Structure 1
Amino acid sequence: MATSLRLSTVILPVRRWQEGGREVWRRAEELGFRTAFTYDHLSWRGSFRDGPWFGALPTLTAAATATERMRLGTLVTSPNFRHPVTLAKELMSLDDISGGRVTLGVGAGGNGFDATALGRKAWTPRERADRFGEFVPLLDRLLSEDVVSYEGEFYSAEEVRNIPGCVQRPRLPFAVAATGPRGLRLAARHGQGWVTTGNPRVSQGGTPKESLAAIRDQVEQLSEACAEIGRDPSGLEKSLLTGFTPDRPLDSFDAFVDFAGAHAELGFTEIVLHWPIPDSMFAADQKVFERIATDGPAQLDGTRS
């Protein structure tokens, strides 16, 4: 029997907590989503740039007090405006408040608004990869060890204490977003999960079939990265964040089942759907979305062997 495919959601931090924000997170738990993530950005693209946008970690802290079972997380946090030392302390605290329900989605970041908000030039792709390669291992240590000292090219830590540590042991899980060789090696070595949004070059002008083939290549490269360190890739959660491929899985229930089934065959264990936001790139029929949440997993389990 194939591993059950889990559904999660991304709730963008665009609502005031007292004006519908709390209710969305509670509804996500009622619908049975495994995890509710939020973006960890200072602001985001398109119509969201000049609209409401709240901080990820305070939002997740509030969500932790408003929910009981559902996991919570970032998708994704990056070095663009985060430092491993301060981030580790906040994550340890959030893990405690939530009772051990936090997953850290972490990626190399991009060249969007976050990259220049602190008054510096955006890093090149190579510079982002270099920093990411130092950021993740240091964060791993900070969340796993009581006392850490480290002197690197980009980050330092001087006798940093993180006591009592995470509720989850040895630390809260990492879901590493990566598509290139260096990032995939980080996912293989430090991740409990791997996240992809597909291949951007294919998504911009390709077909769903071409996108599926490109994602299959990513899965194969991840397996190769695991093989290099003697890790079984089947033990790594594989998550697809939807909304960035040529597919339209929220158009109908059947469209979702076809989409999710095809990607489950590649080994994905989690599909992440954006909570619908009217008049945005994430607009969708709320009723279709909620039916997918409640009936989708059972339908998929019934069609897979």
Structure 2
Amino acid sequence: MSLRLSTVILPYLRWHEGGRAAWQRAEQLGFHTAFTYDHLSWRSFRDGPWFGAVPTLTAAAAVTERMRLGTLVTSPNFRHPVTLAKELISLDDISGGRLTLGIGAGGTGFDATALGQEPWTPRERADRFAEFVPLLDRLLTEDAVSYEGDFYSAHEARNVPGCVQRPRLPFAVAATGPRGLRLAARYGQAWVTTGDPRLYETGTPEQSVRALRGQMEKLADACAEIGRDVGGTDKILLTGFTPDRDRPLRSLDAFVDFAGRHRELGFTDIVLHWPIPDSVFAADEKVFERIALEAPAQLG
């Protein structure tokens, strides 16, 4: 099974001071998809420049031709399905049908309270996500939608002409819990994980592999419940959050070993963060580019 290699370009660079060049270079390096975070700010980047995901992806669509583009991930923390659907349809059109929506329930970071709301509990986030995803699916596939739910409403929301990609642009659903995995099974063309966050600080690579295998098995069970073949779902690993998070970018050989072990688990896509100096995503740019250019051939 071949393994696709993608990247995440965080939106911290001014477009004319490195932002545009990064997206164009990502396409030159042959990445399958270039994603960006859909956050209002993120952790250690909070006090520095940070730009919006949709405008950034729109600009990236205008200066690239082949590479897919996407969010990793969008969440209900500050998005509403009605307005988000209109932006996604527009971006799918501008990109010529190259957009993938990475979508998740959201966390407890800065986005969770930026609109003035109290932080939602894990249960509340799951409840909202369970309503958000099906409504967004309808908004992207139907010309007009009316809906009244516990958290979201739509009144004759019109989305003509719909997505370039039919029946809609693909969803890559980030999930590890049972409710999220059921949403991934029903609505996702892909599933996304960062591993088991409980292992981030003190876990071992071996424990991480076992945890990821367990997540894969639960995804398969969720697909089986609705009669879907899990083999038809792409499985995406966003790197940088497993116990061996630093090792894959130390050398080409280290990455090939890391990626090979995760391909054996069933992953179809590995996503690397674009190097950012003096940050948690710092890495040797020459090694990063060598991985992009040479690793796919070694991985088959």
* Range of TM-score over shorter length: over 0.9
Question: 1:204: how far off?
Answer: 2.2
The unaligned stretches of length 5 or more in structure 1 are none
Question: 1:112: how far off?
Answer: 0.6
Question: 1:120: how far off?
Answer: 1.1
Distance in 2 (alpha carbons) for counterparts of 1:154 and 1:167: 28
What does residue 290 of structure 2 align with? 291
Match of 1:72, SS state, is: strand
Q: Please, what TM-score do these two structures have when normalized by structure 1?
A: 0.97
Question: 1:251: how far off?
Answer: 1.0
What does residue 201 of structure 1 align with? 198
Distance in 2 (alpha carbons) for counterparts of 1:213 and 1:258: 16
Contact 1:202 1:214 in 2 (8 A): no
What does residue 24 of structure 1 align with? 22
Q: Please, what TM-score do these two structures have when normalized by structure 2?
A: 0.99
Question: 1:271: how far off?
Answer: 0.1
Match of 1:227, SS state, is: helix
Contact 1:76 1:177 in 2 (8 A): yes
Is the counterpart of residue 122 in structure 1 residue 119 in structure 2? yes
What does residue 252 of structure 2 align with? 253
Distance in 1 (alpha carbons) for counterparts of 2:201 and 2:109: 17
Aligned-residue sequence identity (percent) comes to: 80
Equivalent residues in 2 for 1:98-177, closer than 5 Å: 98-177=95-174
Distance in 1 (alpha carbons) for counterparts of 2:137 and 2:31: 27
The unaligned stretches of length 5 or more in structure 2 are none
Is the counterpart of residue 8 in structure 1 residue 2 in structure 2? no
Distance in 2 (alpha carbons) for counterparts of 1:179 and 1:249: 23
What does residue 180 of structure 2 align with? 183
RMSD between aligned residues: 0.5
Q: What letter corresponds to residue 43 of structure 1 in structure 2?
A: S
Question: 1:202: how far off?
Answer: 1.5
Q: What letter corresponds to residue 286 of structure 1 in structure 2?
A: E
What does residue 50 of structure 1 align with? 47
What does residue 66 of structure 2 align with? 69
Distance in 1 (alpha carbons) for counterparts of 2:34 and 2:106: 20
Which 4+ residue blocks in structure 1 deviate beyond 4 angstroms? none
Q: What letter corresponds to residue 38 of structure 2 in structure 1?
A: D
Distance in 1 (alpha carbons) for counterparts of 2:4 and 2:151: 37
Is the counterpart of residue 35 in structure 1 residue 50 in structure 2? no
Distance in 1 (alpha carbons) for counterparts of 2:39 and 2:200: 22
Superimposed CA distance per residue, residues 136-194 of structure 1 (whole angstroms, 9 cap, x where no aligned partner)? 00000000111111110000001110000000000000000001000000000000000
